[in-house]
Amino acid sequence: MQIQTIGIVGAGQMGNGIAHVMSLAGYDVLLNDISEDALTKALETVRGNMARQVGRGKVSEADMEAALGRMKVTTQLSDLGPSDLIIEAATEREEIKQAIFEQLLPHLKPETILTSNTSSISITRLASRTDRPEKFMGFHFMNPVPVMQLVELIRGIATDEETFAACKEVVDRLGKTAASAEDFPAFIVNRILMPMINEAVYTLYEGVGNVQSIDSSLRLGANHPMGPLELADFIGLDTCLAIMNVLHDGLADTKYRPCPLLTKYVEAGWLGRKTKRGFYDYRGEVPVPTR
């Protein structure tokens, strides 16, 4: 199947990043969100990020303007019906994702491929609630989308080879690398990354080190570009907790038990950079550790 039109559900950090790379790669993009403000902000973000790429010589001014011209927005989910490929990038809550797919189904072409950018939820289970489980798969971009080179492609139990090949072709056209993952909780990247972050929170919780010493140790001792607690704040502590819960529930192994301190931060609404407080306080000029 030849893909040219791409519908994206959700204009947040992931959705606008996906719209950015798809439009630059020459696809016609229709970005959907229930909020007009979110769509306006997404377009501003994409323009600003592309302008930075122009400034660094990575994208020409003409290519930027052409890409922005290929990007349209809508608050009506049904408008995405004629798309060749739909990528759902809404909140990481299964009931919300299922409701989105149920609303989309009556408006889709028979050949439309449905995908989810979920970082942890079962692709097989999401697909089973649609009329096309064989044309459904996981299309998991890393954050920030314009910068990160990996895309996890996750087959559900029913995903056919034609669907996988069509999505792989899209990844190739983006100039990114596809990693094929099986449909087990959290797939590859988060199956490995989130327990490490959770263990860093346990290290803080148990008083083995403070925020600064833990992050410095992993940056300098393991050559990580960002400490695990700083990275958790960047990802969002609510997202980290949600993925740990998926791992714990899906694999029934106590090694995936979310740290109580992570739960406490989320209950406090200290979710990281997006709320200005997490393991660091971002309200001043320089981030300050909160423990």
Residues annotated as binding site for NAD(+)?
10-15, 33, 92, 97, 119, 143, 274
Mark whether 117 is an active-site residue: no
CA 191, CA 18: separation in Å to the nearest integer? 22
DSSP state of 185: T
Annotated catalytic residue, options 16, 32, 49, 119? 119
Annotated binding site: 10-15, 33, 92, 97, 119, 143, 274
Mark whether 210 is an active-site residue: no
Annotated catalytic residue, options 88, 94, 152, 230? 152
Mark whether 152 is an active-site residue: yes
Parallel, antiparallel, or unpaired: how do β-strands 113-116 and 85-88 relate?
A: parallel
Mark whether 16 is an active-site residue: no
CA 240 to chain centre: 12
Annotated catalytic residue, options 20, 140, 198, 230? 140
- CA of 65: how far to CAs of 23, 26, 59, 147, 174, in Å? 10, 12, 10, 20, 18
Closest CA to 104 of 143, 77, 66, 84: 77
Closest CA to 24 of 229, 219, 173, 209: 173
Annotated catalytic residue, options 32, 83, 116, 190? 190
- What single string gives the DSSP state of each residue in 43-73? HHHHHHHHHHHHHTTSS-HHHHHHHHHTEEE
Parallel, antiparallel, or unpaired: how do β-strands 28-32 and 71-74 relate?
A: parallel
CB-CB neighbours of 67 under 10 Å? 23
CA 133, CA 113: separation in Å to the nearest integer? 10
Q: Which residues are known to be catalytic?
A: 119, 140, 152, 190
